Structure 1
Amino acid sequence: MALQTATSTDVSAPDAEAGYPSRRRAWWTVGVLTVLSCLSLLDRQIMALLVPDIRRDLGLTDFQMGLLQGVVFSLFYVTFGLVFGWIIDRYSRRSVIYAGVSFWSLATAACGLAGNFFQLMLARFGVGAGEAALNPAAYSIISDTFPRRRLSLALSVFGAGTYIGVGVSLLLGGYLISAFPKEGIEVPILGHINAWRAVFLTAGLPGLVIALLIWTMTDPPRRERLAGPATSVGDTVRYMRSHWRFYTGHFLGTAMLAACGYGFQTWSPTFLLRKFEIPITQVVNILAPISVIGGVAGGLMAGWVADRLFARGVRDAHLRYFIAAGLAQAVFLVMAMTSSRLELFIVFLLLANLMSGYAGVGPAALALVTPNNYRGQISAAYLFVTSLLGTGLGPTVVGAFTTYLFQDDSKVGLAIALNAAICAPLASLLYIFALKPMREAVDQVERRSAPPSSAA
């Protein structure tokens, strides 16, 4: 069956030539999803700025804070991601996203009401469960909105929401921390609450309004579907088994890069506070521009390079890019975290962020290999692995290294460096394992894809 995508090489031609939405409509869709991605990262990462205050008020250790930012969040994120993946392949993707955004916004606000580690853990479970809806649905929608030749760039723009969200969380968190009195504030019904609790409430509740943006975009027709009835979980598993080398190498390789990235992303504010003893307002003014400029530029660069190479016939371009970028990122992180000068730390951390463009190009590689019938479920499986091992283990391992290996809170920089030095080489080996299978799988999908069908 022929692939139903654009064949024209004239990039200025309207995408309606192949039944795709207009470019304005397509990029509006990406814009809305990117805003929601920023919101998810804000609600997920703002805890990184509140580590000292939460530790003091609730009596927690670095290891416990690592759990809250890593494994505790990821357990529900990955578990509900599998459920949402099945739903996304069958029902309205917009409805799934709206429900998820509303739920994680309420859960973020609930973090500010926690009175002990257990209650904060339950609230973080809720954040993870709600955020699990966004990425699988967004990957599926964007893959049906853009031609394959421009998919990596579109998904990289969406992936840029990750880095913008981190930057916004740092800036907004720093602003709110400085805006609220250190002694706390009085809130109707709740009474007196500490400043860090007010930050969670202020960050979470606006999401209930922002979620309404999802209704300004459409749920596009589903493309590149295999002929036949709706696929079951068993069908999806059999398809993955037939391409097990690609999925194993890609999933685990990206998980290792995510563990490296989330490890330094989560603990960088604490590193600056402890290493250079600078105020939190200066910390956010340093880290926010690095995250936004480095992350966005790096993501767009990765998408542009992958699209250009793929258009030239390099069918495994996405994985090849990350083999080089992952190793470079590890080198820059080790240099940043072992530097005794703040200026050198800033330069090397910016370079490390420029190498962290997997948030968009990783899902693009997945979409190129996976027929639409399976994309929701396989995207959820991808997020299950990359989040459990990446988002889950990265921050937790860094906290464990600090608490148990070095037994010194001031050595958090060495813990970040060690985590990067382990994860990046492993990622490169796993990507090498998946190169040939990706080339073969891309060719197979292009031969077997079916015409578009109506959206759910």
Structure 2
Amino acid sequence: MDRGDQFVAGTGLHPPARIDAGRRRLAGGRGKSPGRDALQSAAVRCAQSVRRAGRHHRRADAAPSRAPRQFRGWRPIAGGRRLTGDPVTRGWGTARYRGWALTLLLLIYASNFVDRVILAALGPAIRADLKISATQLGLLGGIAFALFYTLLGIPISRLAERRSRVGIIALATALWSGMTALCGTATGFAQLLLFRVGVGIGEAGLTPPGYSLISDYFPRHRRASALSIFLLGIPLGSFLGATVGGWVARTYGWRVAFFVVGLPGLILSLLAWATLREPPRGATDPVRRQDDATPPLRAVFATLAARRSFKHIALAASLTSFANFGNNLFLPTFFVQAHQRDIATAGLLFGLLTGVAGILGTFIGGFGTDHAGRHDRRWTLWLPAIGLLAGAPFFMLGVSLPGWKSGFAVMLVSSIFFYSWSPSLNGALQNMVGARMRASAAAILSVIFNLIGTGLGPVFVGWLNDLYASQAFALGDYATLCAGGHSAAGASAATAHACASAAAYSSRWAIITTALAYPWAALHFYLAGRSLREDIAAQDAAEAA
């Protein structure tokens, strides 16, 4: 309704009717004729009341009344205005809801990594019980998991562009948690391999819809920070999986440990299904298209191919993941074989490396790059490059030191830099594609770096372990006499000592060799940052067109 049609405050009459009423009162009052001055005075008073009414309405438009309390199931109102204010600057939904959603997604991601890391913590016990080689352990933690994890990533991401991301996350969480619990029933390498494939299938349904969901909850200038909190699930889950898994394995056995870490994920899947809500696509973007059409997959590939920084982002992520996942699977084995720690202590040390260093690195990477990116977006990717260059030599020094306490301290500090890259990289990727390409773009990147990093990294480190051990063992066939990394029962003292020495040598130098991938990854982070500003500007121009 126009302001000219509004009732004048306190009269119940439109302005013209107010003037007519004044004339009638002056004309009929006690038989006196209305004078010109009186009539003009009435008109002036009417005009003043109209002006006051206009000012009242302008104040009401400039300062709307307080938004009503939000309830579960809230939806945006017509015209794009939302009850919580501008989502481009504040985010979608209430602050309380965004906090709960991000916390729950963090816990789900932690469960994801608990079930992923538990194999590393239990690796020495599994090898000793099932008599499997380091290469076979690498297959369990690498290709068996990563192949289906990556192959299903793109189909699931396409489904997430069209269907409920919340439903996908809830179902996937239940699947990988159940498969993790079943790993405790395996009686041989083949069964354990099958269950690890199931874990990979389930975990494929978290990161693409998760990244997309968070990007629609939070505005662009807070996405890297929000993603860094989500990505804290990696160190948190790694710490819990390593420490809890190692302690339970020492106390009750490695089979019970799989049940203990698998069951909580089923509860989290129910919470996700019951409490998370689906935001509109692109709800927090500066320019939001009115159409809801999902672009075809070839359009996503074409967009990423046009972004000059993407190829370097993919290579940087692949090389960093290659070293991270490859070495992490064998760090507990390193502490057991090279420093003679028990499985619980090895799990604790591994948990501190991935947990404490991971939390600090993720916070520094997320919030640090958000701050640096306000002045120059290129620093979003240049800071991780500096971190990898600084951390790699110190990490290799820590692994080579003979004392476990001094070596662990150096490794702990240097590992902080190895966890600072993921929020920066994922934030940059989400900002250079459209709202309905984000899950697919995340899945494409996930396919690349998980096949190379998560898939091949553990297999490579396991193969190096077996290779170096065979070269260092001088008493015959290492695989036969030292099955599972231990001498057979009843073996001579000389054989037992030779097996232990070869295992210690191989576990140390396999990790040092793999760490050479960090400086190589730093180069590609630097090259990706050089064209990042242009790629984000190109996406902004495409959205505004």
Q: Calculate the TM-score normalised by the size of structure 1.
A: 0.88
Q: Give the letter for the 1:448 counterpart.
A: A
Unaligned runs of 5+ in 2: 1-84, 471-501
Deviation string, structure 1 residues 274-325 (Cα, Å, up to 9, x no partner): 111122222233332332221111110111111011112x122221111111
Give the whole-Å Cα distance in 2 for the aligned partners of 1:239 and 1:337.
Answer: 42
Match 1:326 to one of 372, 380, 388: 388
How far has the Cα of 1:264 moved from its partner? 2.4
User: What's the counterpart of residue 135 of structure 2?
Assistant: 63
Between the aligned partners of 2:155 and 2:394, the Cα distance in structure 1 is 38
Partner of 2:435: 372
Q: Which residue of 2 aligns with 1:113?
A: 185
The answer to whether residue 544 in structure 2 is matched with residue 447 in structure 1 is no
Contact 1:160-1:360 within 8 A present in 2 as well:
no
2:355 counterpart (292, 305, 308): 292
Output the amino acid matched with 2:320. Answer: L
* 1:345 counterpart SS class: helix
CA RMSD of aligned residues (A): 1.9
Partner secondary structure for residue 340 of structure 1 = coil
Check 1:108–1:19 CA distance in 2 against 1; reply closer, same or farther (3 A cut).
Answer: closer
1:232 aligns with 2:296: yes
1:162–1:359 CA contact under 8 A, matched in 2: no
Residues 167-205 of structure 1 show CA distances to partners (whole Å, capped at 9, x for unaligned) of 00012112312331xxxxxxxxxxxxxx22222122213
1:25-40 to 2 correspondences below 5 Å: 25-40=97-112
Tell me the equivalent position of 1:258.
321
Instruction: Assess, with a 3 A threshold, how the Cα gap between structure 1 residues 16 and 324 changes in structure 2: closer, same or farther.
Output: closer
Secondary structure (helix, strand or coil) at the match of 1:278 reads coil
Aligned residue for 1:191? none
- Single out whichever of 331-340 and 196-205 deviates more from structure 2: 196-205
2:331 is matched with 268
2-structure distance, mates of 1:420, 1:317: 24
Q: Does 1:202 align with 2:260?
A: yes
Amino acid at match of 1:433: L
Q: Secondary structure at the match of 2:185?
A: coil
Residue identity opposite 1:436 in structure 2: R
Q: What does residue 413 of structure 1 align with?
A: 508
Structure 1 position 260, deviation (Å): 1.4
Which of 412, 425, 429 is the equivalent residue of 1:362?
425
Q: Name the aligned partner's letter for residue 385 of structure 1.
A: I
Give the aligned partner of residue 114 of structure 2.
42
Q: 1:431 to 1:24 in 2, by over 3 A?
A: same
Q: Note the C-alpha offset of 1:63.
A: 0.6
Pairwise CA distance, 1:227: 6.2
Indicate if the aligned counterparts of 2:91 and 2:219 stay in contact, CA closer than 8 A.
no
- In the other structure, the counterpart of 1:398 is 461
- In the alignment, residue 263 of structure 2 is paired with which amino acid? L
Partner SS for 1:20: coil
**Letter paired with 2:260:** T
Residue 220 of structure 1 corresponds to 279
CA offset digits 1:314-354 (Å, max 9, x no partner)? 12222111111112221122011111112222212211221
Whole-angstrom distance in 1 between the partners of 2:130 and 2:294? 49
Aligned equivalents of 2:390 and 2:178: distance in 1? 39
1: distance between equivalents of 2:179 and 2:544? 40
Question: Does the CA-based 8 Å contact 2:109-2:237 persist in structure 1?
Answer: yes
What 5-or-longer segments of structure 1 have no aligned partner?
Answer: 1-12, 181-194, 452-456
Name the amino acid aligned to 1:239.
T
Deviates more, 1:224-233 or 1:103-112: 224-233
Q: Which has the higher contact order (CA 8 A, sep 6+)?
A: 1
The letter for the 1-side match of 2:510 is A
Structure 1 distance, partners of 2:95, 2:449, is 31
Identify the residue that residue 10 of structure 1 maps to in structure 2: none
Give the equivalent residue in structure 2 for 1:141. 213
Which of 524, 527, 534 is the aligned partner of 1:430? Answer: 524
Q: Distance in 2 between matches of 1:292 and 1:221?
A: 34
Pick aligned residue for 1:81 from 132, 153, 165: 153
What's the counterpart of residue 234 of structure 2? 162
Report the Cα distance in structure 2 between the residues aligned to 1:26 and 1:241, rounded to whole angstroms: 33
Instruction: Give the structure-2-normalised TM-score.
Output: 0.74
For residue 154 of structure 1, report the CA deviation from its aligned partner. 0.9
Q: Report the alpha carbon displacement of residue 378 of structure 1 after superposing the two structures with TM.
A: 1.0
Aligned residues: 422
Maintained 8 Å contact 1:315/1:442: no
